Amino acid sequence: MPAYATLEELFARLSHIEQAQGMLHWDMATMMPSGGAASRARQLATLKAVHHQMLTDGKVKDLLDAATAEPLDDWQGANLREMRRDWLHAAAVPGELVEALSRACSASEMTWREARAAGDFAQVAPLLAEVLRLTREVAEIKSQALGVSPYDALLDQYEPGGSTAAIDAIFEDLGAFLPEFLGAVLARQPALPAGPAGPFPVERQKELGLRLMGRLGFEFEHGRLDISQHPFCGGTPDDVRITTRYDEADFMSSLMGVLHETGHALYERGLPVAWRHQPVGRARGMSLHESQSLLIEMQASRSRQFLAFAAPLMAEAFGRRSGGWEVETLYAINLHVKPDFIRVDADEVTYPAHVILRYRLERALIAGDLDVDGLPGAWNEGFRDLLGETPPDDRQGCLQDIHWYDGAFGYFPTYTLGAMTAAQLFDAAVKAVPDLQVAIAAGDFQPLLGWLRANVHGQASRLGTDELLIRATGRPLDAGVFKDHLRRRYLGEEAVV
């Protein structure tokens, strides 16, 4: 059998293992009783070890080398490139280290759930320290194999080809813009209108979320909506699992969380079926994945056009109690800007500051310039410098996100890169598709989804992130598009040309 065909068979089996891990992680976050934590940690560690053994078998490198001499089409060539990238990441790290990190992450994550609820950082600190120790070891090993810094080696797991040099330049541009802009927005904040009065029963919130998911294009025969402590999208492209959390005093927060995760799900479902179990068939990095969720949530669903369609459905879902369901009222509520301690509750203007804080802290943690015991103080100081307030406790500070406790270092920058990418893609879609906003106002999302399928979803990992963005929008990532979007939405200014 040709080398490339042999590799396709191997990577299909690896994909099935990855998808089984994904479903076990979903169950752990939603359905699994706490007593199953130790057993689940062993299951996941074993699957990771098997996956690692298969990928790093001595024959794989020979097959990769041999396949380069075989005639391959464009998609196959890109698939071989992604196979080699996966192999490079895996071959650099000993199997026992992979298994040890998996066990440490599972233990840390489960304890984090209790520690966060109690606001007790000390409870999880030793487990986080072990995750960090092992992650630093992985980062150092991978940095040697990839020829990049330890942090960039971790970043590459989530953002292929990403670098701190590129992120620093983008964040410096955005960081210079945000303080003055935030001041101007806060100075012009109107009195918050009297929105709809709660309580908003959870069951009705769920029904509304399901209805809007369907209108956006979510296929319920290939997915479901559940509850978790931290909203996320998981599962597989053929069985997409999204979660949210509910607040009976604030239906909009949960709803926007549902729509955000639906954006992730639509990306997964739009990946090319022919390449479903190959590396080239995966989503192209987390900045693009975040762009798809934020495009649906921030660009489309918080617009006047979307609310023209959705406001009557919202009122109907909650029995049309009292006033506050007018489009302009709901739109004004979504324009409310106020620094918040919790990242997932932050508004569009202050959200980048949350990401920049985490980016700085995790770089310091990986470099050894900050240890776990110093994390709460460094977090509080950094938050005060960026947003002018100090979190009252660790639950609203360094305990709020699951990422580090689950070993996801290098992930956070992709959130703001994704927001910027979302603005640029939506701007291009509006210019490319006649009457796109009119269709959204009518509750028709197929024109938008069709453009995304052709320009983002259907491309999977065939192209690099930069090349995909240039082809779709005509330019590389440009902070100016995101800044223009913020000026229009929050200050009513025209774009700066």
- Catalytically active residues, by annotation: 261
Contact indicator for 485, 294 with CB cutoff of 8 Å? no
User: Are the beta carbons of 13 and 54 closer than 8 angstroms?
Assistant: yes
SS (H, E, C) 133-147: HHHHHHHHHHHHHHC
Max CA pair span of the chain: 70
225-228 long-range contacts, CB within 8 A, separation 24+:
225/258, 226/30, 226/31, 227/30, 228/29, 228/30
81: part of which helix (H) or strand (E)?
helix 74-91
CA distance 3 to 23: 31
**Cβ atoms of 232 and 242 closer than 8 Å:** yes
Say which residues have a Cβ less than 8 Å from residue 251's Cβ, sequence separation at least 6: 196, 198, 200, 205, 208, 314, 318
Burial 97-106 (b: 16+ CB within 10 A, else e): ebbbbbbbbb
CB 395 within 8 A of CB 373: no
Tokens of 433: 């598709």
Dihedral, 210, 213, 215, 217 alpha carbons, nearest 10: -130
Contact 293, 421 (CB under 8 A): no
In DSSP terms, which residues pair with 243 in a beta bridge? 226
Name the residue with tokens 């506050």. Answer: 324
- Token representation of residue 405: 């406790």
316-327 as b/e: b if 16+ CB within 10 A: ebbeeeeebbeb
Measured CA to CA, the distance from residue 156 to residue 158 in angstroms comes to 5
With both helix axes pointing from N to C terminus, report the angle between 479-491 and 413-432 in degrees, rounded to the nearest 10: 80
Structure tokens at 329: 């009222």
Chain centre to alpha carbon of residue 116:
21
Q: Cis bond leading into 190, ω under 30°?
A: no
Residues 160 and 288 sit within 8 Å (Cβ to Cβ): no
Residues present in the chain in total:
497
